[in-house]
Amino acid sequence: MLATPKQGSANAPEASASDQTATPYSLHDLPLVNDSPRSRGRIRCEVTDFKVDEELPFTPTDEGEHLLVRVRKINRTTHDVQQQLARTFRLRIRDVGYLGLKDKRSVSTQWFSVAVPAPVDSFAAPDLEILQQRRHIRKLRPSDGCRNQFEILVRDVEPTHVSSSRMCTVPNYFGEQRFGRDGQNVSAAMKWIHEGKPRVASFVKSIYLSSLRSYIFNHVLAARVDRGDWFKGIEGDVLLDGLPSGPLWGRGRLSTSSLAQRIEQDVVESVAEIAEALEWVGLKQQRRPLAVAPICLNCKTDMDIARVRFALPSGSFATSVLRECFDLEERWR
């Protein structure tokens, strides 16, 4: 089981600085499906080693008040591009829509939406390029979902230990990007809880809540991986697309029953402070599949470099696929 944060109350005496920040969190803490030897591997050694292409989940109408802009970004966050578009079109940041966050240290293409009458030719910013513009009837939102195509170079591998079969179906863990380096998003969110949940910027609050929600989900999934039934239904499971699911915590009763519910309840009780905070802000419970199968998986090894290509549905993490085959060392910046 994963390490859990310190327990306490928002009205209790303030925790010490070490208690507030001592929430280590890494994919290395999560149980693997297969314990046989994996190859070592290094990712993001160069920005161009990690490529992501976002696919629109619909066909644009080619009419309407919203301009869809497909952008290629290099070593930029999604919010960098959002801010640049807001400046370019003289909009508020919240009026620039997008489907999902993309890794900073990568070459990524993704779609944004802006409610403007005329297109723009280019950005006055390095490492950003406009690839395509289409019109549409509504703003893009993360809830729309999307599929992402990945092409990733893994360096310094041991070819004899590279097996693509280990990546065919994997636990659908939230990756380290959701939690920040060394779990800093979880640590900051716990500090926010200990301080009585003071008002913070809406974007910061969303980071806190998503990291805590993901933290609980990963605990549930880790428990199921330890049991060996993470990819097949057990008594009381709720299936999504034929796969068992785990909770994205919020208000409401668990939709599972029997054995599946007992597993989830045990996990939630171990992180009760986090669960209570998510209920306090009014989030409603949702479900997420415990397993994910990469689409069109292809892995080719040349000397000590593996080139891995696959697609994933919205919200799934490429690093959670790779870690089943590689003992990853990742460069964050």
d(CA 307, CA 292): 20
Residue 77 carries which side chain, given as an amino acid letter?
T
d(CA 250, CA 245): 15
d(CA 295, CA 281): 36
Report which DSSP code applies to 178. H
Beta carbons of 120 and 161 less than 8 angstroms apart: no
How many CB atoms neighbour CB 95 within 10 A?
15
Positions annotated as catalytic residues are 103
Tokens in use for 97? 């829509």
CA within 13 Å, CB half, 40: 4
d(CA 137, CA 2): 44
- Whole-number Cα distances in Å, 176 to 158, 328, 332: 24, 12, 10
